[in-house]
Amino acid sequence: MNRKINVSIYNECQHEHEVDAVRAIYPQGIHGAIRGFLEKDGAIGTIRCATLQDHRETLSQAVLDDTDVLVWWGHIKHHEVDDKVAAAVAGRVIDGMGLVVLHSGHGSKPFQLLLGTDTYNLRWREAGEKVRLWTIAKNHPISQGLGETFVVPHDETYGEPFGIPQPDELIFLSWFQGGEVFRSGCTWRRGEGKIFYLQNGHETFPIYHQREIQQIITNAVKWACPVARSCPRDRGGPNAAALEAYTLEDGGGFTPVTRG
Ligand code: ZN
């Protein structure tokens, strides 16, 4: 692809304001950390950041229209995201924009709009347990540069059953110290758009500073990028005239229908 990938990063950015320990790990916010490693990649072009506080402006339709891939981190304030912005995000995904949803973003409005899920759809525990990820799809663009398995030293535990529609592809499967397993890296397609969900990233651990996690998110941005930035779908199911006229003989006995 000739053009560079335009990325927008939405981060709720509440914990960074309210909790010293989180601010110590992410002094520039979780979005700042994600921006920090994405901007080192030569394939990435413009990176824009949005937070809950400013998302009505920073995720405007004009910004979304100029975004190839949107990365989303949210947790306790999903309900405060403007319904119109959430609908615009979902609409852009249908039209081809990529969406990379992180950690508790499974409860976000765009994720739920696109996948038909609800917030309370998994087991969870904040115990700082070790998690081991296994690469299930070794030949997938999102798993390139990763080994067969790696460990995140501490994360929030998420466990099955995870109330998602069956993923199109399962890229990573995780095992947690407390015994749970979880489908931690999943893809779906909705309309023209690609969606990737990654479980890792509880705000009290430096997970977005870990090389493997950075590699996964960078790979996912590249995978989710559409060939054409703008590819609006025909909405409304137009009544379409035939491209070529045909005769009774061509039609094998069917009577041609004239649309008017
Ligand atoms: Zn969490």
Please write the tens of the pLDDT for every residue from 239-255: 888 888 766 666 555 66
Is residue 258 one of the residues assigned to a domain? no
Is residue 96 one of the residues assigned to a domain? yes
- What Å distances lie between residue 14 and 90, 118, 146, 154, CA to CA? 23, 22, 31, 21
Q: Using CA atoms, how far apart are residues 78 and 11, in angstroms rounded to an integer?
A: 11
Is residue 139 one of the residues assigned to a domain? no
By three-state DSSP, how is residue 189 classified?
A: strand
Instruction: Report the pLDDT value the prediction gives residue 128, as an integer from 0 to 100.
Output: 96
Is residue 170 one of the residues assigned to a domain? no
Domain hosting residue 83, numbered range:
5-120+183-224
Domain count, the chain: 1
256 preceded by cis ω (within 30°)? no
7-58 pLDDT tens trace: 999 999 999 999 999 999 999 999 999 999 999 999 999 999 999 999 999 9
Q: State pTM to two decimals.
A: 0.93
Could you tell me the distance, in angstroms and rounded to a whole number, from the CA of residue 107 to the centre of ligand 1?
Answer: 11
Q: Which has the closest alpha carbon to 99: 36, 186, 170, 214?
A: 186
Could you tell me the distance, in angstroms and rounded to a whole number, from the CA of residue 204 to the centre of ligand 1?
Answer: 8
Could you tell me the distance, in angstroms and rounded to a whole number, from the CA of residue 205 to the centre of ligand 1?
Answer: 9
Could you tell me the distance, in angstroms and rounded to a whole number, from the CA of residue 26 to the centre of ligand 1?
Answer: 15
Instruction: Report the pLDDT value the prediction gives residue 237, as an integer from 0 to 100.
Output: 79
Could you tell me the distance, in angstroms and rounded to a whole number, from the CA of residue 143 to the centre of ligand 1?
Answer: 23
Is residue 160 one of the residues assigned to a domain? no
Is residue 137 one of the residues assigned to a domain? no
CATH number of 63's domain? 3.40.50.880
Strand blocks (E) in the chain: 5-11, 44-51, 69-73, 98-102, 123-135, 149-159, 169-176, 181-190, 193-198
Below-70 pLDDT ranges, the chain: 246-260
Is residue 252 one of the residues assigned to a domain? no
Could you tell me the distance, in angstroms and rounded to a whole number, from the CA of residue 43 to the centre of ligand 1?
Answer: 30
- Run of H or E including 56: helix 55-58
Helices H / strands E in the chain, number of each: 8, 9
Is residue 38 one of the residues assigned to a domain? yes
Could you tell me the distance, in angstroms and rounded to a whole number, from the CA of residue 162 to the centre of ligand 1?
Answer: 15
